[in-house]
Structures are given as structure tokens and as C-alpha cells.
Amino acid sequence: MDLVFFGIQGSGKGTQAKRLAQEFGYDIFEAGGELRKIAATDTPLAEKVKRFMHAGNLVPHEIIMQVVKEAILKRSPSTKILFDGIPRDADQMRDFDQILKDAKRDVRCIEFTLSKEEATKRILGRAKAEGRADDANLEVIQRRMDTFLTKTRPVIEEYRKQGKLTEIDADRGVEEIYGELKTVITK
């Protein structure tokens, strides 16, 4: 069974993903990370991707769906994938579910819940530590969080309706969150 991690920027889902992947052998597909790799290349596509990322907007549908589709198809059916940062809106969810269905893969979803206020505090700290340009600008952070609340939240609610979602309170220390995560995925 594959996993999909949801959480507002700053919720710590990336940290949890890395630990879980290491201990339980998941392959991580991190949408933002994959796009940052593309943005670092010397291609016209990179320029386009950068424009959207720097503004804090979702990159166009076809671009991200192509990237995730390739990533899914190149992995063997026995590899468990942990998706971080996709799907982020209803259109992505529709295509993502179809790709998974065609590949005979199944997902369960985890949402790391955190208030917008706490998330903002954390993300500004991360910008200093990691030097990420799109984390350093309050306006861009605001736009990414708004995108999460308006576009990604309905996706989470849909998975909840389908009985695929578990929520984990992310307003705690890394260890405590990880302990609960392990309990959730092993039960």
C-alpha cells in the first residue's frame, strides 16, 4: 500500500516522510523536490517551472502530472511509494487516482494537522536554516498556504469521505508525531 502525506507548509511532513521511508522502505516522491530538480536544469521548462514556484503558485497541471506519472511507471509494483506534495487540487486528484488505478496501486492518506499561525512561525525558521528562496518571503508563503487551504483542503476532505484518511496532530515534537505515525501505518 502506498502513502500520501498531506499537511500545510511547515507541518513537518517532509521530516516524517524521510524517517518513515528509512525505517519501512518507502520510496519518496516529493513533488516540490522533483520540481526543484527540474528548475535547476538549463532548459526552457526550468524557466517556466521557476516562474510558478517563485510566485508560490502551483506549476501547470500537465507538467507535474507528467513527472509523477513517469515516477510511478518506472517503479516496480512491489515498491511502496510515499507521495509528499501531490495531489494538490481536484484536477490532480482525478488524474492521480486514475494513474494509480491503472498501475493497480492503492493509497492511504495521512494529514499532519497544524494551524496556519504555527505553520508560518516554523516556515520562517526553516527559510533561515535552509536558505530556500520561496520560504523567505511572507507574501509567497501566504500564497502557498492559501493554495493549500482553498485547493488542497477539498482533496483531503474527499479522501476522508472515501475512508482513506488518518489525521495526526503535528503541533508536537518530532518524536511524538513519529511514534503516532508508526502506530497508524502498522495497524
Mask for 62-81, x = binds ligand AMP (CB under 6 A): --x-----------------
Closer of 105 and 182 to ligand AMP (Cβ): 105
Provide the strand spans (E) within 19-164: 26-30, 80-84, 107-113
Closer of 54 and 101 to ligand AMP (Cβ): 54
Closer of 142 and 183 to ligand AMP (Cβ): 142
Identify whether the C-beta of residue 83 lies closer than 8 Å to the C-beta of residue 93: no
Identify whether the C-beta of residue 132 lies closer than 8 Å to the C-beta of residue 75: no
Residue 94 vs residues 13, 103, 169, 182: alpha-carbon distances, Å:
23, 14, 27, 28
56 binds ligand AMP (CB under 6 A): yes
Cα separation, 20 vs 182, whole angstroms = 8
Q: Which region, judged by CB under 6 A, interacts with ligand AMP, from 40-48, 57-65, 110-118, 155-163?
A: 57-65
Closest chain position to ligand AMP (CB): 32
How many Cα atoms are found within 13 Å in the side-chain-facing hemisphere of 151?
17
> Which 2-31 residues touch ligand AMP, going by CB under 6 A?
9, 31
Mask for 138-157, x = binds ligand AMP (CB under 6 A): ------x-------------
Q: What are phi and psi of 6, to 5 degrees?
A: -120, 150
How many Cα atoms are found within 13 Å in the side-chain-facing hemisphere of 172?
13
Compute the residue count for the chain. 187
Q: Which region, judged by CB under 6 A, interacts with ligand AMP, from 15-23, 85-93, 109-117, 169-177?
A: 85-93
Residue ranges that bind ligand AMP, judged by CB under 6 A: 9, 31-32, 35, 52-53, 56-59, 64, 85-86, 88, 92, 144
